[in-house]
Amino acid sequence: MDEEKVITGYDPDVVRRLFAFVRPHLRVLITAVVALAVATAAELALPVVIQRAVDQDLLADYLRGDAEDMQSVASGHAGIDPIVIGETAYVLESSLTALAGVNKRGLQERGMLSERSHYVFRLENARDRAVVAAYPDIFTVGGEDAIYAAAPTADLSILTEEELRSIRSADLRAVSRKSVLFLGLLVTVFVFTFAQVYLMAATGQRVMKDLRTQLYDHVIRQRLAFLHRNPVGRLVTRITNDVETINELFTNVLANLLKNVSIMVGVVITVFLLSRRLGLIVISTLPPVLVVTWFFRTYARNAFRNVRLWVSRVNAFLSEHISGMTVVQLFTQEGRVGKKFRDRNESLLGASLGEMYVFATFRPIIDLLSSASVAVVIYLGAASVLEGVVTLGMLIAGIELIRRFYRQLMSISEQFVVLQSALAGGERILELLSDKQRIPDEGTTPPPAPVAGEIVFDDVTFSYRPGEPVLRNLSFRIPPGNSVAIVGYTGAGKTTIANLLSRLWDIESGRILIDGVDIRDMPIDELRGLVQPIDQDVFIFRDTIRENIALGENFQDGRLERAAEAVQADAFVQRLPEGYNTRLDERGANLSVGQRQLVSFARVVAHDPAIIILDEATSSVDTETERLIQHGMQALLRDRTSLVIAHRLSTIKNADRILVLSHGEIVEQGTHEELLDEDGVYAHLYRLQYSGG
């Protein structure tokens, strides 16, 4: 089983490091935050507009008191603007309730305010004056130029609907203006919410692009030890699934989370601004919610980490066994492999259900607490309305605000799955980025020009594992233009020499020189432009033959075709339906083994390296194909230094020199005939292949 590290405990450094990727796009993010602030302010203003419409226009109740007393009260509070009619002053009841420091109940008990509410309006036209004149026992007229009229609110019930509409025309116009304002706020919320969501999504997409690019660059430049320890499926999961969760973090979670949190904080502030009593009632309902959220956060994080772990394991298993499907089928292992997959899939199901269990428990609890909180606000708020401490408009606005609060909290609970998944994915991505195992590329010495191609291994020692050397104090020299073959039993270290020469691994001690320059002093890109290996397992990309040879280079003047002709590949390419533009299947499945090998030869000739490494290049082809490949190899090796690693000794009879490797040391060297005459290891290998000895 893929024993992958599961990160435990919350690391605050994760979020900080993730947001480092946002720094290049900070201006867009700031614009999104500004749009969020405007949208939030507009959304919180909606209940306030309703409160003002109810208290100031729909229920425009005034309390009556002595003019001198009311003027003294108003002098200390800018929010009170009494209307004076004769010796009497009328004060809007909602203005008294909303202001701190004014005890309305105390003023009524001291006889400074009436218990009975009144309606006060401005006489704007002859129709209003006609209504007042028709009911002299109800209305009191006064004020400067006698432009105000007042009447007990309860007595207005005797007026006709048309008469009420006339005297309340100013209130109706005010409600219309507030309706337009309400609509304008809704449009503002829509426009700025759209801008905020779009800008956050754009930021997320750019961050995801940068993150994918950095991850790919990081993985593709690691040394082979890193790639051997990390299955391809796991790495693909990091670069695709885990990065996608980061995109979700920005485009979905972060955008909504910022909005939800800002509205929740804004709700508390707005309720306190409306009424301190109402604010305290709302605050008293929050502690149970905070406690439940704290426990949910802890359990959810572990559940989401477990899901990401098993997703990675399932992907790694699928990648490996689909790639090796031929072996599975040939050895009739479908049942066993299927059982192993079902076991992993069952574990993924269990992890996913555990995640859903946590979520399914949290949401109903929050829903219950939401309903309970609204009930508490209604009960205690209604009592406050009866006491005259809170107005009806304030209570309506308070209920709407507390519902918004829990609506945002419910939204957060829904986004918690993605949030925790993104944080878990972020931890895994950062862990991958922190695993730096690159071959040091600090060389500044360019290769000599022109390159002769001399290779020197000077006392080279190398181990894949500490204490288990594969090469021991290895020394040899390959003159420029020579072809040197390396043979030996399996595990002798032949392929290791090829990997060290191209710096896929780094030596522990000693030196490797090309034309007298230590390869560690050369930039890796320039070194690998000089040294081109051809492995026995040729990798073919899912692309055209032309692109598989060129590998992105723009070869002109028929250079690519001439390279294919030189290695005997042009003949079979021309027989294909679209020639060099024929698209190959994955790993070149629509070509034979020999054809893939010839394509790899053409690839090397087209790029024209000074040194070529052939690693078992003809180990898995038939005799006729081998003959064709031998002709290609003659063109490939002409005028180049070559290092040939082979088990088939027939392919290296014409090598300038043969090195016989055993346990990481050279035990014999010479030409084919000289080594046969020595009757040593090489002669023994030769007899095993051709005499059956």
Q: Which of 14-18, 435-439, 581-585 has the highest mean pLDDT?
A: 581-585
CA distance linking residue 629 with residue 595, whole number of Å: 9
pLDDT of res. 281: 81
427 has pLDDT over 90: no
CA distance linking residue 484 with residue 496, whole number of Å: 15
Cβ atoms 91, 80 nearer than 8 A: yes
pLDDT of res. 3: 45
What lies within 8 Å, CB to CB, of 659 at 6+ separation is 476, 484, 485, 486, 487, 666, 668, 669
CA distance linking residue 690 with residue 299, whole number of Å: 68
pLDDT of res. 460: 92
pLDDT of res. 663: 83
pLDDT of res. 220: 79
> Is the CA virtual torsion 644, 647, 653, 657 positive or negative?
positive
CA distance linking residue 523 with residue 270, whole number of Å: 63
Tens of pLDDT, residues 648-673: 776 777 788 999 888 888 888 988 88
Q: Angle, to 10 degrees, between the axis of helix 392-434 and the axis of helix 287-323?
A: 30
- What does the block give as tokens for 148? 């105000």
DSSP string, 444-504: -PPPPSS----EEEEEEEEEEETTEEEEEEEEEEE-TT-EEEEEESTTSSHHHHHHHHTTS
Tens of pLDDT, residues 247-262: 777 777 777 777 888 8
Nearest to 279 by CA among 388, 371, 390: 390
- What does the block give as tokens for 232? 């391809």
List, in sequence order, every beta strand (DSSP E) within 302-402: none
pLDDT of res. 8: 46
Lowest mean pLDDT among 168-182, 216-230, 451-465, 507-521: 216-230
- What does the block give as tokens for 490? 């399996």
148 strand-pairing partners: 122, 142
pLDDT of res. 693: 46
Q: Is 158 exposed, middle or buried (0-12, 13-18, 19+ CB in 10 A)?
A: exposed
- What does the block give as tokens for 455? 């290779």
Average the pLDDT over 309-319 and give the result: 80
pLDDT of res. 364: 81
The single-letter code of the amino acid at 212 is R
Average the pLDDT over 387-397 and give the result: 79
pLDDT of res. 616: 65
The single-letter code of the amino acid at 557 is D
CA distance linking residue 602 with residue 628, whole number of Å: 13
All domains in the chain, ordered by first residue: 455-690 (3.40.50.300)
Beta strands 641-645 and 483-488 are parallel
What is the share, in percent, of the chain residues with pLDDT greater than 70?
A: 88
416 has pLDDT over 70: no
pLDDT of res. 4: 47
Nearest to 417 by CA among 316, 299, 309: 299
Average the pLDDT over 318-322 and give the result: 80
Q: Which of 181-190, 354-363, 491-500 has the highest mean pLDDT?
A: 181-190
What lies within 8 Å, CB to CB, of 153 at 6+ separation is 61, 116, 117, 118, 119
Cβ atoms 464, 52 nearer than 8 A: no
Confidence of residue 198 (pLDDT cuts 50, 70, 90): confident
pLDDT of res. 10: 46
Which helix (DSSP H) or strand (DSSP E) does residue 88 occupy?
strand 88-92
User: What φ, ψ does residue 142 adopt, rounded to 5°?
Assistant: -175, -155
Q: Is 483 exposed, middle or buried (0-12, 13-18, 19+ CB in 10 A)?
A: buried
Tens of pLDDT, residues 267-308: 888 888 877 777 888 888 778 877 877 777 667 767 777 887
Confidence of residue 399 (pLDDT cuts 50, 70, 90): confident
Confidence of residue 9 (pLDDT cuts 50, 70, 90): very low
List, in sequence order, every beta strand (DSSP E) within 93-235: 117-122, 140-142, 148-152
Confidence of residue 78 (pLDDT cuts 50, 70, 90): low
What's the longest Cα–Cα distance across the chain?
Answer: 140
Tens of pLDDT, residues 549-582: 888 788 776 888 888 887 778 888 888 888 888 8
Tens of pLDDT, residues 574-585: 888 888 888 888
A 10 A CB-CB count for 347 gives 16
Tens of pLDDT, residues 49-74: 988 888 888 888 888 887 777 777 66
Mean pLDDT of the chain: 80
354 has pLDDT over 70: yes
pLDDT of res. 31: 92
pLDDT of res. 629: 64
pLDDT of res. 35: 92
Beta strands 611-615 and 641-645 are parallel
Tens of pLDDT, residues 612-656: 888 765 555 556 666 666 666 666 677 788 888 877 776 777 788
CA distance linking residue 57 with residue 53, whole number of Å: 5
